[in-house]
Amino acid sequence: MSGADGIEPLTGVPRRLCHQNLSLVRNARLHRVLQLAGHDLHAGLPGPRDGVLVWGRSPTAWRGEAVAARRGVPLVRVEDAFLRSVHPGRARGEAPVGLLIDPVGVHFDSSAPSRLERILNSTELQNSNILHEATRLIECILEVGLSKYNNHEPNLPPPDPGYVLLVDQTAADASIRHSGASAATFRAMLATALRDHPEARIVIRSHPETALGLRPGHFGPTDSGGRVTLSTAAVSPHRLLAGAAEVYTVSSQMGFEAILHGHRPRVFGQPFYAGWGLTRDDRPLPRRTRSLTREALFAGAMILAPTWYDPCRDRLCGLEDVIRQLEAEMRAFREDAKGHVAAGMRLWKRPRLQAVFGGERPLRFRDGPAQADRLAVATGRRLLVWAGKEPQGFAPAAHCLRVEDGFLRSRGLGAELVPPLSLVTDDLGIYYDPTRPSRLDRLIAAPLPPGGRDRAEALIARLQDSGLSKYNLDGGLPSLPEGHRILVAGQVEDDASIRKAAGGVRTNLGLVQAVRAANPTGVLIYKPHPDVEAGLRPGRVQPADLAGLADAVAVGCDPARLLAQVQEVWTMTSLLGFEALIRGVPVTCLGAPFYAGWGLTRDLGPVPPWRGPGPDLARLAHAALIAYPRYWDPVSRRACPPEVALDRLASGALPHPGRANRLLSKLQGRLAGFAHLWR
């Protein structure tokens, strides 16, 4: 909402902003974020109630500065926020997920105050609510390992702990000059570190853009030798900070991240985080006299000052949404950076697989796993195999991931060629096969990460409230007899989960008979699997065979609505048992699905010996719905967190293939294998 004078009341930024720079014309993300924040960006000269926008202290900012001074209108500077993207913008042209919109100054220019500095200097930051939020989000960022850029490789080890870490920056960067430093400051920093720590190892961390060859830094290979090592590998900055004994910086954001790790870095410039009692400052800034905790500093710099943007849902958002989005994108980058060779993939699935796993390097498709494995080894790629398509005794030489649909899949059936929003990848086994441990087993048994319980419980609540399930088929409820209702979950009888995980009962009729024998007075409601109902897969039970066994047959009904009407669920290995647990319905398993054996179900069949009581529902849901699957948003066409997938499934605004689309999907599938020719 705008005030009568045309000034947006929350930030003091004029509604209409003008600029004199062609690069800002092309910056679609900047235009969109400003629009969502209530501002219009135009090229040209400002009117008396307008403002002028420039990008930080860029080489062309002088134009806008001169226009604003000449016309006597406010000058607004904009810069990337402290979480930006996976890759540097210069490397891939990726747009930022957050901006610092500043009508006061710019955060890295210590010659004058900035909006961020004013927030840190005068805002009440000791509020228990905001400090609690800051503590929680710091833990999330450290757990995920997020930084401004996030194209680091998680498995690259840092040097042995105990080193002194020096942080290099790109030469001639505005944040150096306007922090009261110069190229000579970096030499002085190295000399000081060598003098202060005569016996210690010195590790100089190159800036990511320097390591990619995009911009020069202040240190090169000739600076290595003796006690000094130049680190140019894509090691996570958080792993470097965790192993450092001391941290030296001029004005790098890594100094701020060092504070989050508990360091008190020595600072040779005057960055935004210096002067608050959390750093050792070689050049103190007299106007910064307030003492802050790391949580208060974080609250100002990461919660209050930035304008954050959700690129999937195209809206402004809070920091937590940005963390989740970058976490999903970073996972996709890490898993796909080397590329994949895919085998056992049906033609209609290939376009979606190409979209989900081919963002870094296009997938190469091969029909046979052995052929694909040879190509993966020869090209240094990973191997993707559709779970269940491995030949007996297949022992791949390449790093192998087995792929299957996730548990929040689509609005429609896979048998009808509806593509999934989620896919799981497993480097150990696959979730439906209890003959060997799976990655999902490991995740269920592991402790929850910071913030994991709250996130899982929020996801469970959304599933309960929205009635979402795996396929999300519309349907009503049949008339159900009164009494103790037991839902019997039918399955596809040739499904891999039946072959691998069912116990002595392996057919739908056998399941109904077993439930009736154990519950002679119960009201049995048999629900056929939707693929079986549609006539697409085997498992049909004749009505005559159900006579005297089932009291009702729930055909074409919504499983979530049905679960609200029953007192318990019996199943062989159906996912409906997991959906029942999420809704608080007791479950009896005759087989060993992934959710059995953890003390959450009554298990009448054998369960793997590596499972045991301990994990609660939140841990099960976190593993199955957050940590194990990868989600892909068909609207924004990018990796996304499960919360975005839930929004898509709840809204129903997803493409559903008709006959023409099914033919097109098969054609796209044939062409998907040649994507490397044009990408």
Q: What is the mean pLDDT of the chain?
A: 91
The model's confidence at residue 556, banded by pLDDT at 50, 70 and 90, is confident
Mean pLDDT of 423-433: 96
Higher pLDDT, 387 or 532: 387
Residue 606 pLDDT exceeds 70:
yes
Q: Look up residue 165 and give its two tokens.
A: 């870490």
Strand ranges, E, within 511-561: 523-527, 552-553
The DSSP bridge partners found for residue 630 are: 423
Mean pLDDT of 118-146: 92
Return all residues near 453 (Cβ < 8 A) that are at least 6 apart: 618, 622
Mean pLDDT of 407-433: 85
Contact 100, 30 (CB under 8 A): no
Q: Is 466 helix (H, G, I), strand (E, B) or coil?
A: helix
Mean pLDDT of 188-214: 94
Q: Give the closest residue to 13 by CA, choosing from 71, 54, 63, 45.
A: 54
Q: Specify whether the backbone of 393 is left (phi greater than 0), alpha (psi in -120 to 50) or beta.
A: left
In single-letter form, the type of residue at position 315 comes to: R
Higher pLDDT, 440 or 91: 440
Residue that has been written with the tokens 């796209």 in this structure: 668
Q: What is the pLDDT of residues 236-274, one digit of tens each?
A: 999 999 999 999 999 999 999 999 999 999 999 999 999
The model's confidence at residue 630, banded by pLDDT at 50, 70 and 90, is very high
Instruction: Count other C-beta atoms under 10 Å from residue 56's C-beta.
Output: 18
**Structure pTM?**
0.92
Distance, in Å, from the CA atom of 405 to the CA atom of 426, rounded to the nearest integer, reads 11
Residue 5: what pLDDT?
43
Q: Give the closest residue to 339 by CA, choosing from 676, 2, 1.
A: 676
Percent of the chain with pLDDT over 90: 78
Return all residues near 111 (Cβ < 8 A) that are at least 6 apart: 178, 180
Three-state SS string over 330-382 comes to HHHHHHHCCCEEEECCCHHHHHHHHHHHCCCCCCEEECCHHHHHHHHHHHCCE
Distance, in Å, from the CA atom of 16 to the CA atom of 52, rounded to the nearest integer, reads 9
Distance, in Å, from the CA atom of 544 to the CA atom of 526, rounded to the nearest integer, reads 13
Residue 558 pLDDT exceeds 50:
yes
> What is the CB-side half-sphere exposure of residue 511 using CA atoms within 13 A?
33
Instruction: Report the alpha-carbon angle 210-301-146, nearest 5.
Output: 50
Give the least confident one: 10-24, 89-103, 637-651.
Answer: 10-24
Residue 679: what pLDDT?
35
Q: What is the pLDDT of residues 281-318, one digit of tens each?
A: 999 999 998 999 999 999 999 999 999 999 999 999 99
> What is the CB-side half-sphere exposure of residue 77 using CA atoms within 13 A?
21
DSSP, res 225? B
Residue 10 pLDDT exceeds 60:
no
Give the chain's largest Cα–Cα span: 90
The model's confidence at residue 669, banded by pLDDT at 50, 70 and 90, is very low
